[in-house]
Structure 1
């Protein structure tokens, strides 16, 4: 595919102008960051794995009737998505206490929460993505009441679905981040799931051992980061067992 005009570059992805009006090419990088960019590094082959994992999960979510921006995967590192107007919020769902909520509330990591908790963070790196109330969201016109109702409904459905899907492969869904956008069609906007779903923005723990299978391995310098991402792909049967065993760094991943 001919490389097109770059629209945006973020911490983990680059967006390019798509081949057709209303489309964008989303390129997955191996770059990794933590602490709002304070820590930087590279996870070899991460872009390839996240592309495949996100493709699989987005497709599964579409199949249960929740609209997404995903159209199709183009190659090992790129996928074609619908151009959407991103709502400037990160929607976080927490099933188990981990990450910032542990520090903020003095909870014990691993504590099962009484019910899934939904939090909202304003997408603003300069402000370190602050936690915001739903009243702020509607007061400052980041999203309407109707849009937020739809977003929360979709979010809780996605949580239920992914929790069950991952349970079937021995993974506990601890928490995850979603982003939504407005897809305009016939002068009407429709809320769709955007961005990605991968070990970059989810916490996955092995059900039996509690081993972390996500970017926390990079954040905390736990080692075996690439192996954790590969393990998620293996359990979801996105990458055949034989290919996982024969991976030799980036070259092996690119050949999948």
Structure 2
């Protein structure tokens, strides 16, 4: 069935939904890093991220953290509410890693004294720069009350996911969230949007410190597909077919 394609990003495609106010979010196997300077394919990533994000978004909805997620439609697609994306990435850091460790010359793996929340402006052209509340409010990307609400939600998500992953033997090092404005009955509320998966989280094995996320792709560590599968297995959402069949339709890929 032909559907209207509304947007294609680095990891997902958005199609017009079956009902007004909905979209179909399709997960691709494409992988990018360093602002798309590095590109590749992680076989089965779209299927696994769809399942993982469905699991997490459902749990967050159940504990009162609103998301755009409605339901999973098939192996690679989920139905989501249409939202106006806030042009910010909200990053929560529990452990020094990646660019944060380099920026402050801190050894990777150093626990932070408390969770640190950072904002990045969503712009591939500018390289998603780190920004402050003053930048955000001056350019009108979000109001102070919006930022307060996003930080509160981000810290609640951090508390919940830290416990969830710890129960699976995984350490939540840091993660990225995106938010959207959902309009209902002429009222606006902020909800979590996009996805939560090994694409957007740093996850290390508690016992070995092994990286179980997209850093394996960024740093050419190998075993990328196996790491994503292991996260899905520990969460109990590995597709019944396992790692076979995980290629998407050629018409979309």
Q: Paired residues, what number?
A: 248
Structure 2 counterpart SS, 1:121: strand
Look up the match of 1:178: 177
**Structure with the larger helix share:** 1
Structure 1 counterpart SS, 2:246: helix
Look up the match of 1:210: 209
The answer to whether 1:250 aligns with 2:249 is no
The answer to whether 1:57 aligns with 2:66 is no
**Contact 1:44 1:249 (8 Å CA) reproduced:** no
Look up the match of 1:197: 196
Quote how far apart the aligned CAs of 1:249 are: 6.3
Alpha carbons of 1:3 and 1:75: their partners in 2 closer, same or farther (altered >3 Å)? farther
**Cα deviation code 1:84-116 (max 9, x no counterpart):** 000000000000000110111111000000000
Look up the match of 2:156: 157
Look up the match of 1:18: 17
Q: Which 4+ stretches in 1 moved above 2 angstroms? A: 247-251
Look up the match of 2:47: 48
Q: Note the residue ranges of structure 2 that are not aligned, 5 or more in a row.
A: 248-253
Q: Note the residue ranges of structure 1 that are not aligned, 5 or more in a row.
A: 252-256
Look up the match of 1:95: 94
Look up the match of 1:254: none
The answer to whether 1:77 aligns with 2:73 is no
TM-score (norm 2): 0.95
